Amino acid sequence: METVLLSDSSADITKAAELIKNGHIVGIPTETVYGLGADATDENAVRGIFAAKGRPADNPLIVHLADFSDAVNYTAEIPELAYRLAERFCPGPLTIVLPKNDRIPMVTSGGLDTVGIRVPSHPVMHRLIAESGKPIAAPSANISGYPSPTSAEHVMRDMNGRIAAVVDGGESKFGVESTVISIENEDTVRILRPGCVTDEMLSEICGSVIIDHAILNELEAGEKAASPGMKYKHYSPKANIIMVEGSADAFTKYVSEHDGESSYSLIFDGDEKNFPYRYMTYGKDSLQQAHMLFAKLRELDDIGAEKVYVRAPSKDGVGLAVYNRLIRAAGFEVIRV
């Protein structure tokens, strides 16, 4: 199959919407990362998404809608708290897990009786949903296990020949996937995956916000995952990622004592002044680090880095999302210095 690269012109968005309407898979820009989009109600199209990514069949897809008011068409029940959250955070990088109805096939929900609903803010994604008239199932557009794509070029690299088209809508604004939450009771949510809607932001709407244990910890053998995605290795470039947590000086000292010469490091902007080895930087604050992390991990693979020491980010605010991706890329090992 030839994968067509489309622009974000009106004519090209219409072409992409037609493809989705007709059961094809299209690489699509969102404000979080690029997605592999298809009609969420078309079982064959959804199977094609799983096949293109090599995604385990039990890892559910998020369903993207043009407006939260459409969620009534795909869910069995919407608690009042979900409406309050949607009012504050939709459109935006928040996915709310709700009981699904029969219009969402089991293949889409990975066999669960719930579905993650998101209303994206990216104007191209919004138009694709509106023009296709379909709810769009879209996981991140990477080969399963590899870092998520934040540009059309990344998607082309992973998916060329596997999908019908990719729409180039520019670099993803946030750079990490949406915050995924479930609703625990009338005033409590549980964060299943951290993103750019932070626990502090959710606390403005909910009485209580639980951060699931599996966000920072490997599941024990036999422990049930609150979200299937927690079970799988994720975000891993080919390079061996070693996470080192500590001050810039302590990080430099550690690297100098452990094959500094033969490795690369991924450090904060500003750390490079006294850093004598090969490095890349990934921003100076959590928002910048979220924006750049996946692109830098891919770049490190492109230059053939085999071993990469990463200076661990803050765990506060959006930092938790960056830390969560890195700790998975590092196989849950963190060296504290």
Nearer to Mg ion, 145 or 246 (CB): 145
Site membership for Mg ion, residue 109 (CB under 5 A):
no
Which residues are paired to 264 by β-bridges? 308
Smallest distance, Mg ion to C-beta of residue 157, A: 16
Among 59, 265, 286, 289, binds ligand AMP (CB under 6 A): 59
Nearer to ligand AMP, 152 or 214 (CB): 214
Of the candidates 294, 268, 291, 289, which has an alpha carbon nearest to the alpha carbon of residue 280?
Answer: 268
CB-based contact 325:214 (threshold 8 Å): no
- What is the footprint of ligand AMP within residues 286-325 (CB under 6 A)? none
Site membership for ligand AMP, residue 48 (CB under 6 A):
no
Site membership for ligand AMP, residue 114 (CB under 6 A):
yes
Among 32, 95, 140, 265, binds Mg ion (CB under 5 A): 140
Among 86, 97, 244, 322, binds ligand AMP (CB under 6 A): 97
Q: Which contacts of 8-14 are long-range, i.e. CB under 8 A and separated by 24 or more positions?
A: 8/124, 8/167, 8/168, 8/169, 8/170, 12/167, 13/124, 13/127, 13/128, 13/131, 13/167, 14/131
Site membership for ligand AMP, residue 158 (CB under 6 A):
no
Binding segment for Mg ion (CB under 5 A), chosen from 104-112, 134-142, 166-174, 188-196, is 134-142
What is the chain's Cα-based Rg?
A: 20
Binding segment for ligand AMP (CB under 6 A), chosen from 111-119, 124-132, 159-167, 314-322, is 111-119
Site membership for Mg ion, residue 182 (CB under 5 A):
no
**What stretch of H or E contains 223?**
none
CA 318 remoteness from chain centre? 13
Site membership for ligand AMP, residue 228 (CB under 6 A):
yes
- 91 preceded by a cis bond (ω within 30 of 0): yes
Whole-angstrom Cα distance, residue 290 to residue 319?
8
Among 20, 192, 305, 326, binds ligand AMP (CB under 6 A): 192
Cα angle value 296/300/301 (rounded, 5°): 120
Residues in contact with ligand AMP by the rule CB under 6 A: 59-62, 97, 109, 112, 114-116, 139-140, 177, 180, 192-193, 227-229
